[in-house]
Amino acid sequence: MTDQAHTGATRTIRPQGYWVGVARDGQKMGFWFILPTFLLLLFIVIFPFFMQLYLSVTWWTPLEGIPWYSAWEVFSWFDNYLTLATDPRLWGALWRTALIMIVAVPAQFFLGMALAYLFIDQFPGRKLFYSILLTPMMIVPAVVGLMFFLLFQGTGPVNAHLGLPADFSWLTDVNRAMISVIIADIWQWTPLMFLILLAGMLGVPSDQLLAARLLGGSNWQNFVKIILPRMKTVIIIALVLRTVECFKIFDLIYIMTKGGPGVQTETISVFLYKQTFGDLEWSYVAAIGLTILIVLSVIAAKGLAYMARKQG
Amino acid sequence: MSSIQIRNVTKRFGEFTAVRDLSIDIEEGEFVALLGPSGCGKTTTMNMIAGLEDPTEGQILFDGQDLSGLRIQDRNIGFVFQNYAIFTHLSVYRNLSYGLEVKKVPKPEIERRVQAMAERMSISHRLDQPASSLSVNEMQKLAIGRSAIVEPRIFLLDEPLSNLDAGFRAYMRAELKVLQHEFGQTMIYVTHDQIEAMSLADKIAIIDRGRLMQYGAPLDIYNDPQNRFVANFVGSPRMNLVDGELREERGTLKLMLHGGAEIPLSGKVRVDFTCDGSVHGGSFGVRPQDIYFGEKRGGDDITMTGKVEVLERVGPKRLAYLQVQDTLFVAFDDLDRLRVGDEVPFCLPSDKSLAFDIDTGRRLGGA
């Protein structure tokens, strides 16, 4: 009865003026509040996604002479997808990206963990060292690229310190170019690992550590049995974060080697960049981007499901 | 099991002296309580025994042996933390087995000892569950069991009952007493609760502002406090302690209280106040349960008159607050006949009254 009376009242009020209805009706207000965000998402996520999907099944390039929305004129079915499946340059770039991940992320993890362990205790100058250690992380990656580009020159400081001749090249050598890039990445991102792991380590209750010591556990035993298990979540977050970031590595490499010599340091991002702005193969790049998106989404979904199952 | 000698131990943190020249001897198998108000240095003392802090001066000997060079993990000291410090990410079983695991005790023996300890602590039905799922009282038992399983040379308990609710605290107090008896372990117990200390300990060390005030059996401390601080701190309800000037008038020695009233001194307590001729001001102490109403029972007892201000029920008895000028005396209303507003005579038994020097707080005379 009262409900009906209420709705009836609302109905009679609504025609009186626009704002009265909006103020009374929370849902309608909410719609207007989220509308800008919704439009933004539509513009930066959903529209590009469908544009990408559309282009990826054509042979369209900016050189075609027709606007992108007319790309159906050069419709190619799944040719781009078939090409990418057997493109050695793409698979090479993927492998090199994986290689950087496999080497750099664990190196950053172990260095970060060791540094964090050093920093749980107070010592004179702790704050100073802490600030110094965090500096690399705050430098723009392009600048880090430039720094290491200069450091690894034939006549640069690295060779000078190691007593190597000027023709001992780093960035133009087939093997050493990759090593240089990995070193630069480790240098820049160990601090982030250190920061996250230190926060996690400081979160381990100190009285439990003390209890473990009083029970006779050595520092190593307590580290493995108490500290590490308690840091599990933080460790997973740190590793996932760095792995994802590593997959996108671009600016460092682009400045240091431009993916060279040849394609020796060409990662997936560098490869896509070159395909897009060098070769202007936009429909092919769209197909690759979409494939990577789908593969990573599946992996992420599986991972999340696994974690949910372990917790539930 | 070990005996412990604490010898002239001083601990300073910068300018602040937490413990001053403390000496305590603890026999093998004894249960000793370190009792004192918050911040008195009792926890610092315990941390020094455990090796968590190094004494600034002095020595702590275990069976005559100085362990100061030994690392914490090699000292074999059982420690029960105030908040238990249970490893919440491990199972109950792994909590119990931790101390044996790290010492590389063979698996079957660990299994056997964990089962036995879990049985003893009545948490065996919980062994496979995560320790974080335990209730507070089970955590308490787990914390004790986890330390006891490694058979430590001594057992330190840092206010282990303070997190429990009143009912369970009384139960755990009894349980601890039984456990101590079973383990036959040297135990040191830190508490600010004198009832806990009184009911559990073989000996109590009362500490105030880093100094040892008295060390002895609970009853000795209760009956024979060595200074004003101990007299005031031990006992519930608190001892009546009134301060005043000593004055001789026409052959009678009187304690002129700051509140205006006077206590004519006679008998043993008079002897106590005068045994040291130099004392001019004193504190007169008498426990509420020693004050009585009605006829004088001993020839030397002191009769006073006061007005009943408040009557307060404490269990089966009532506490009477008696106002004599500006001074309040607390006594048990043993006859249950008092009414608020009554002017009643009451007696202070001379032989059970204590005398303290007002300046130094030290006991005058004595038993």
Question: Among B73, B103, B150, whose Cβ lies nearest the Cβ of A213?
Answer: B73
CA distance, residue B191 to nearest chain A CA (Å): 19
Same domain, B295 and B160: no
Q: In this structure, is residue A129 part of a structural domain?
A: yes
If DSSP codes are grouped into helix, strand and coil, which group holds residue B292?
Answer: strand
CATH of the domain at B301: 2.40.50.140
How far is B282 from A65, CA to CA, in rounded Å?
A: 111
CA distance, residue A215 to nearest chain B CA (Å): 5
Is there a contact between A215 and B146 if contact means CB atoms under 8 Å apart?
yes
Q: In this structure, is residue B275 part of a structural domain?
A: yes
* Contact residues of A toward B, CB < 8 A: 205, 207-208, 210-218, 221, 225-226, 229-230
Q: What is the pLDDT of residue A11?
A: 47
Q: What is the pLDDT of residue B342?
A: 87
Same domain, B274 and B202: no
Question: Among B75, B88, B98, whose Cβ lies nearest the Cβ of A212?
Answer: B98
**A50-64: per-residue pLDDT in tens?**
999 999 988 888 887
Highest mean pLDDT among A14-28, A93-107, A149-163, B175-189: A93-107
Same domain, B188 and B248: no
CA distance, residue A312 to nearest chain B CA (Å): 15
Chain A hits for B99, Cβ within 8 Å:
215-217
Could you tell me which of B231, B304, B243 has the C-alpha nearest to residue B273? B243
Mean pLDDT calculated for residue range A192-215 = 93
Cβ–Cβ contacts within 10 Å for residue B254, how many?
17
How far is B85 from B99, CA to CA, in rounded Å?
A: 14
| Residue A4 pLDDT class (50, 70, 90 cuts) | very low
Mean pLDDT calculated for residue range A292-296 = 90
Q: Which residue has the tokens 């599946």?
A: A298
Same domain, B248 and B339: yes
Pairing relation of β-strands B154-158 and B187-191? Answer: parallel
The residues, any chain, with a CB within 8 Å of residue B63's CB and separated by 6 or more, are B2, B3
**B84-124: per-residue pLDDT in tens?**
899 999 999 999 999 999 999 999 999 999 999 999 888 88
CATH of the domain at A183: 1.10.3720.10
Could you tell me which of B20, B38, B3, B30 has the C-alpha nearest to residue B190? B38
Same domain, B279 and B219: no
Q: What is the pLDDT of residue A78?
A: 87
What is the overall mean pLDDT for chain A?
86
DSSP string of B159-199? STTTTS-HHHHHHHHHHHHHHHHHHT--EEEEES-HHHHHH
Count of domains observed in chain B? 2
Same domain, B173 and B319: no
Rounded-to-10 torsion of CA A89, A95, A99, A100: 50
Residue B123 and residue B138 in contact, taking contact as beta carbons nearer than 8 Å: yes
CA distance, residue B84 to nearest chain A CA (Å): 8
If DSSP codes are grouped into helix, strand and coil, which group holds residue B49?
Answer: helix
Edge-to-edge strand list for the sheet holding B317-324: B292-293, B343-348, B302-314, B317-324, B327-332
Q: In this structure, is residue A120 part of a structural domain?
A: yes
| Residue A2 pLDDT class (50, 70, 90 cuts) | very low
CA distances from B207 to A96, B125, B221, B234, B342 (A): 69, 41, 13, 12, 40
Q: What is the pLDDT of residue B277?
A: 72
Same domain, B12 and B161: yes
Whether the predicted model's global pTM rises above the 0.80 cut = no
Domain end marker among B213, B233, B253: B233
Q: In this structure, is residue B198 part of a structural domain?
A: yes
Domain with A143, as residue range(s), is 88-280
Domain with B328, as residue range(s), is 242-364
Mean pLDDT calculated for residue range A234-261 = 90
Is there a contact between B98 and A214 if contact means CB atoms under 8 Å apart?
no
Cα distance from N-terminal residue to C-terminal residue, chain A: 44
- Residue A77, Cβ density class (10 Å: 0-12 exposed, 13-18 middle, ≥19 buried): exposed
Same domain, B227 and B145: yes
If DSSP codes are grouped into helix, strand and coil, which group holds residue B205?
Answer: strand
Q: In this structure, is residue B283 part of a structural domain?
A: yes
Is there a contact between B102 and A226 if contact means CB atoms under 8 Å apart?
no
**B318-367: per-residue pLDDT in tens?**
899 999 888 899 999 877 788 888 899 999 998 888 989 888 888 887 65
Residue B292 and residue B346 in contact, taking contact as beta carbons nearer than 8 Å: yes
Q: In this structure, is residue A250 part of a structural domain?
A: yes
Tokens standing for residue A7: 């709705």
Q: In this structure, is residue B111 part of a structural domain?
A: no
Q: In this structure, is residue B289 part of a structural domain?
A: yes
Residue B345 and residue B303 in contact, taking contact as beta carbons nearer than 8 Å: yes
pLDDT of A21 > 80? The answer is no
Residue B332 pairs in a beta bridge with B319
Mutate to test the interface with B, among A210, A213, A214 (most CBs of B within 10 A): A214
pLDDT of B229 > 80? The answer is yes
Q: In this structure, is residue B81 part of a structural domain?
A: yes
